[in-house]
């Protein structure tokens, strides 16, 4: 046999006077070359697919998300990769350029991504379907109202009074699970800030709502997220809990309207603005979900539940930072409320009253130690994966095509646990030097989407921490009662609570007596 090349073929057609055939073959060859070029370019523009069976990838995404995404980057050796989630295509983003373009992209919709990939509240006609139809901008506007200076000033003593009541129920000494007890304080604060007096002022209703929201969390499974229409036992339980939450909130609004007695709370803001029932319920159901768990849309969740509990655990492991934080709170009291302390007969009451008298501006601008502690706790213990959906048009991220309708996610671990940005990333080191580049810290969001409740969340954490620091000394211990060494490591696969990966840890505490307080702070 003799090899016949393209040139030989064309020469044969020309010599045998077959011009039509020559043109046809030439065009076919050109189309073949162009098609091959486009195919190669399309493959270069498309993020690589994960090699495993789609069902396995789907289960891993929901059950061990942090490990699964880290594995995806390792096995593809790319900054972006994609996988199938039933009929949805999901692109996972990492790297400096990808992070910047993802966070600033206008076509990536947060609400749609969260709705599809999170499944926080089931869609129930007459309950939550109508809530989704409300204008999100209005809900965000009311959240801004809650965070105005005058409202936050009013909330400070209310949050402290609630926290003091719960702390006074503790024994003089003992051990407790911070993901239970600190959660309880934070959940109470969330209801106080975002709902109404009828709810936040009734311990039985607060306890009932906490149980129901935890039931909603337990009902969030891969099946309920992927098949929300299928009446599985988990979905039915979740739907019943959601309906009961809805009924409690609606009943509280009804009681307020029937009594005609106004209260200085968030509900009254809505009523004074003339907002309809569905908007009020949507705000309270949605933001309480965000404020008390770890998958919300405003960013409050990470600050409230996860970071408040982990901040206390970290302080229990690091006496140096615990003492510095306590000294900072005491200096606040000495600077702003000495007259209040000197007039009080009860050392315990003097501490609580003193904290309530510290002005909002001092909490926000005169607490650099607490700011560093909160920042570091958010970095280490915020297992957030930002979720978006491209609502159009087709876009590119880090040179890879993202068609309309594609789900796009960015794991915060890509930046917060990156040893190139944060050496020894699992080490709790509030004094560490911070990266200089943009968008290298996302504790309160970044780019086009930032935490709209950040001011309220940050203030609440400071108040809860201050209450604990002035009333108790404490250490973090393991299940056998030994001082935790090394410190607990957050389990980023636990998307709801991010509990320690090494097992259960406790807070071993003792109440500080009046002599300790009196010797530390005296009026000048």
d(CA 356, CA 333): 10
458 by Cβ neighbours in 10 Å (0-12 / 13-18 / 19+) ranks as buried
**Which tokens is 18 given?**
């077959």
Determine the pLDDT at residue 26.
Answer: 55
173-176/505-511 β-pairing: antiparallel
Which tokens sit at 511?
Answer: 């109440």
Burial of 171 (0-12, 13-18, 19+ CB in 10 A): exposed
Q: What is the pTM of this model?
A: 0.86
How many CB atoms sit inside 10 A of residue 121's CB? 23
- pLDDT of amino acid 227: 84
Question: Which is nearest to 182 in space by CA: 314, 369, 327?
Answer: 314
Pairing, β 407-411 against β 88-93: parallel
Q: Say if residue 468 is exposed, middle or buried (CB neighbours under 10 Å; 0-12, 13-18, 19+).
A: buried
Helix or strand holding residue 402 (H, E): strand 400-402
* pLDDT tens by residue, the chain, 524 residues: 444 454 554 455 456 555 544 444 455 555 554 444 444 444 579 999 998 788 888 889 998 999 999 999 999 999 999 999 888 999 999 999 999 999 999 999 988 888 888 765 555 555 444 445 445 677 788 889 999 999 999 999 999 999 999 999 999 999 999 999 998 999 999 999 999 999 999 999 999 999 998 888 888 788 888 888 788 898 899 889 999 999 999 999 999 999 999 999 999 999 999 998 888 998 888 777 654 444 333 344 444 567 889 999 999 999 999 999 999 999 999 888 765 555 555 555 566 678 999 999 999 999 999 999 999 999 999 899 999 999 999 999 999 999 999 999 999 999 999 999 999 999 999 999 999 999 999 999 899 888 888 899 999 999 999 999 999 999 999 999 999 988 999 999 988 778 998 889 999 999 997 655 555 544 33
């Amino acid at each position: 046999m003799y090899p016949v090349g393209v040139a030989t073929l064309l020469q044969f057609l020309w010599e045998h006077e077959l011009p039509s055939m020559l043109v046809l073959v030439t065009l076919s060859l050109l189309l073949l070359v162009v098609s091959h070029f486009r195919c190669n370019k399309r493959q270069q523009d498309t993020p690589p697919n994960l090699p495993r069976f789609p069902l396995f990838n789907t289960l891993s995404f929901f059950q061990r998300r942090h490990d699964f995404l880290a594995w995806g980057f390792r096995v593809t050796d790319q900054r972006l990769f994609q996988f199938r989630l039933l009929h949805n295509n999901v692109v996972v983003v990492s790297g400096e350029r990808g992070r910047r373009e993802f966070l600033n992209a206008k076509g990536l919709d947060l609400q749609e991504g969260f709705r599809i990939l999170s499944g926080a509240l089931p869609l129930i006609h007459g309950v939550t379907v109508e809530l989704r139809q409300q204008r999100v901008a209005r809900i965000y506007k009311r959240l801004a109202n809650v965070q105005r200076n005058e409202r936050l000033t009013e909330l400070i003593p209310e949050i402290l009074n609630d926290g003091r009541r719960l702390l006074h129920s503790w024994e003089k000494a003992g051990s407790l699970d911070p993901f239970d007890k600190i959660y309880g304080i934070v959940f109470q604060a969330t209801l106080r800030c975002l709902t109404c007096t009828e709810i936040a002022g009734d311990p039985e209703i607060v306890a009932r709502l906490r149980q129901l929201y935890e039931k909603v969390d337990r009902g969030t499974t891969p099946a309920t997220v992927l098949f929300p229409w299928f009446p599985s036992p988990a979905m039915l339980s979740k739907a019943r809990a959601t309906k009961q939450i809805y009924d409690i909130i609606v009943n509280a609004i009804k009681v307020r309207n029937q009594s005609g007695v106004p209260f200085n709370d968030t509900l009254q803001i809505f009523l004074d603005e003339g907002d309809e029932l569905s908007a009020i319920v949507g705000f309270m159901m949605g933001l309480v979900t965000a404020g008390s768990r770890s998958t919300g849309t405003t960013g409050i969740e990470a600050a409230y539940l996860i970071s408040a509990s982990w901040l206390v655990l970290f302080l229990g492991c690091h006496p140096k930072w615990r003492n510095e934080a306590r000294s900072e709170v005491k200096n606040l009291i000495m600077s702003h409320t000495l007259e209040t302390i000197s007039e009080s007969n009860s050392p315990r009451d003097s501490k609580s009253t003193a904290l309530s008298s510290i002005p909002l501006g001092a909490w926000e601008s005169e607490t650099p130690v607490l700011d560093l502690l909160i920042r570091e706790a958010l970095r280490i213990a915020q297992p957030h994966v930002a979720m978006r959906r491209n609502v159009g048009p087709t876009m590119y991220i880090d040179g890879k095509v993202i068609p309309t309708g594609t789900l796009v996610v960015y794991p915060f671990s890509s930046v917060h646990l990156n040893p190139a940005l944060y050496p020894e990333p699992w080490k709790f080191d509030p004094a560490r030097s911070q990266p200089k580049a943009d968008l290298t810290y996302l504790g309160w969001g970044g780019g086009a989407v930032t935490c709209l409740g950040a001011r309220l969340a940050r203030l609440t954490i400071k108040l809860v921490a201050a209450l604990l620091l002035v009333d108790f000394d404490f250490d973090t211990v393991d299940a056998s009662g030994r001082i935790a060494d090394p410190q607990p490591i957050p389990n980023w696969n636990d998307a709801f609570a991010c509990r320690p990966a090494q097992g259960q840890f406790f807070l071993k505490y003792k109440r500080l007596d009046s002599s300790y307080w009196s010797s530390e702070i005296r009026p000048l």
